[in-house]
Amino acid sequence: MNTRTDLSRCADLFARAQKVLPGGVSRNTVLRSPYPAYADYGKGCHVTDLDGVTRIDFSNNMASLIHGHAHPEIVRVVNEQMARGSAFMLATEVEVQYAEHLCSRSPSFDMLRFVNSGTEAIMVAIKASRAFTGKFKVAKVEGAYHGGYDYAEVSQAPTPETWGSHDKPHSVPLVHGTPESSLRDVVIIPFNDTDRAIKILNEHAHEVACVLLDLMPHRVGLNLVKPEYIEAIQKWVADHDALLVLDEVITFRSEYGGLQTRYGIKSDLTALGKMIGGGFPVGAVAGRADVMDVLNPKSHRFLFPHSGTFSANPISMSAGLMAMALFDQKEVARLNALTDRAIDGIRKAIDTTGACACVTGGGSMLRVHMKEEPPHNFREAFNTDAEKMRLATLLDHLFSEGFIMINTCSATLSTPMTEIEIDALVAAMESGLAKIASMP
């Protein structure tokens, strides 16, 4: 890649951007040193930047592009809808068609309500839980990412100095100025530590409206939830008139009906987003009919007025319906098998190079850690300064070799990928891990 700023269109554009955008960007995840790459166009699983460099995209816009870039069928239906209009103060048929399709994929989905992002889906799920139960506290896993809502982002990024004891984790703000009242209303539990989690929940048994849970939380280490943990949580909410809210904004890609179907469990509410928009902004809350009824203005249970200017806009609905129709059981299984191939290959590369690293994941996602053993919770996944340095070295190596990764060194696959792209990633990982192994 050309790094001379006087010849780089990306560098020139970043210089302009810093004058009008805080930090030069609208989302911090695209920042790189000395300047971010700016996309020119994408096709399939490749993206070409403004400097003419083409890379294989294993980020897929933070797991939102299950079919990669510019899938012909998605482009077709979006163009057709654009010619008829992009948004109306009327309902549209495609909204109903898409709701029917999503509800058909999971036994947990009696009804759903479309929104505009995963963050908004989580927000609506929390508010609906409070409206339905009459209680107000939210319990969530330490370190888990659930978007930008005050109550969902508590203890998203605690540190050893702030996170408290294992038995009584602190509610730690992410953003300066978060109200103390928000912190008091969020109960923090450890991931996959059943006894501790239930003990903490019992201390708030009459106040918790919902337990918010990702079954394979990325920030916590991208490990699957233990069956006994989710079963205990599900029993606890049933025994204490609370709700189980699953965040499947990312993990819905893991199985045809979401990761919860692998465990044979039924959530009370599920938050969806990312890939269900087919590359356009979207979110959805799905769940039990009686719980969803709090959103129904014609119901005697109506307790939660909700609307949104762009909710269920026909562009997102058309793109999403096509994307999910294309992502059938066969494609889900194929992508999951490719992920297993990548994980096995990276593990062999770790053994070959002797690098201090490990890999976790599954269900078309993986994450490489700069640790000898896979972390089991957020505290174990937390990176030391030395680990951050090794991680940055590996990410820079992969980028220079032509691979776009999520900045935790995570990858999410898309359907245009084949064994060719997977094996190329494994080879680049091996050469990068060799560099890591030689570091002091």
Task: Tell me the pTM.
Answer: 0.95
The answer on 113 and 46 residing in a single domain is: no
For the beta carbon of residue 381, count every other beta carbon within 10 angstroms: 24
Residue 220 domain-assigned (yes or no): yes
Least Cα distance to 277 among 41, 54, 98 occurs for 98
Residue 27 domain-assigned (yes or no): no
How many Å separate Cα 234 from the centre of its chain? 22
For residue 64, the SS3 value is: coil
- Rg of the chain over Cα atoms, rounded to whole angstroms, equals 22
For the beta carbon of residue 424, count every other beta carbon within 10 angstroms: 15
The answer on 343 and 359 residing in a single domain is: yes
The answer on 265 and 163 residing in a single domain is: yes
221 Cβ neighbours under 8 A, 6+ residues apart = 191, 360, 367, 369, 374, 375, 376, 377, 378, 380, 381
Beta strands in 65-204 (DSSP E): 111-115, 137-141, 186-189
CATH number for the domain that contains residue 297: 3.40.640.10
- Asked whether 293 and 299 are in contact (CB, 8 A), the reply is yes
- Asked whether 10 and 33 are in contact (CB, 8 A), the reply is no
pLDDT of residue 354: 97
The answer on 279 and 247 residing in a single domain is: yes
pLDDT of residue 6: 58
For residue 105, the SS3 value is: helix
Least Cα distance to 66 among 438, 414, 420, 424 occurs for 414
Beta strands in 231-384 (DSSP E): 243-247, 269-273, 283-287, 358-361, 365-369
pLDDT of residue 113: 98
CATH number for the domain that contains residue 357: 3.90.1150.10
For residue 153, the SS3 value is: coil
Last residue of a domain, one of 276, 293, 326: 326
The answer on 138 and 102 residing in a single domain is: yes
Least Cα distance to 294 among 204, 201, 210 occurs for 210
For the beta carbon of residue 145, count every other beta carbon within 10 angstroms: 21
Q: Which domain does 366 fall in, by range?
A: 37-66+329-438
Last residue of a domain, one of 326, 360, 379: 326
The answer on 346 and 316 residing in a single domain is: no
The answer on 246 and 174 residing in a single domain is: yes
Residue 24 domain-assigned (yes or no): no
Residue 11 domain-assigned (yes or no): no
Largest CA distance in the chain: 67
> Is residue 34 reached through a cis peptide bond, with omega within 30 degrees of 0 on the bond before it?
yes
Q: What is the mean pLDDT of each run of 10 residues along the chain (440 residues)?
A: 63 96 94 94 98 98 98 98 97 98 98 98 98 98 97 97 97 96 97 98 97 97 97 98 98 98 96 98 98 97 96 98 98 98 98 98 97 96 96 98 98 98 98 93
Query: Residue 217 corresponds to which tokens in the numbers above?
Result: 């939380």
The answer on 283 and 140 residing in a single domain is: yes
The DSSP output letter for 406 is B
Residue 1 domain-assigned (yes or no): no
Residue 169 domain-assigned (yes or no): yes
The answer on 197 and 59 residing in a single domain is: no
The answer on 189 and 57 residing in a single domain is: no
Last residue of a domain, one of 326, 349, 376: 326
Residue 22 domain-assigned (yes or no): no
pLDDT in tens, 25-48: 999 999 999 999 999 999 999 999
The answer on 48 and 81 residing in a single domain is: no
378 Cβ neighbours under 8 A, 6+ residues apart = 141, 142, 143, 144, 158, 191, 219, 220, 221
Distance CA(412)–CA(58), nearest Å, equals 5
Sequence letter at residue 420: I
Total structural domains in the chain?
2
Put the strands of the sheet holding 243-247 in their side by side order: 111-115, 283-287, 269-273, 243-247, 208-213, 137-141, 186-189
Distance CA(244)–CA(223), nearest Å, equals 19
Residue 19 domain-assigned (yes or no): no
The answer on 52 and 83 residing in a single domain is: no
The DSSP output letter for 210 is E
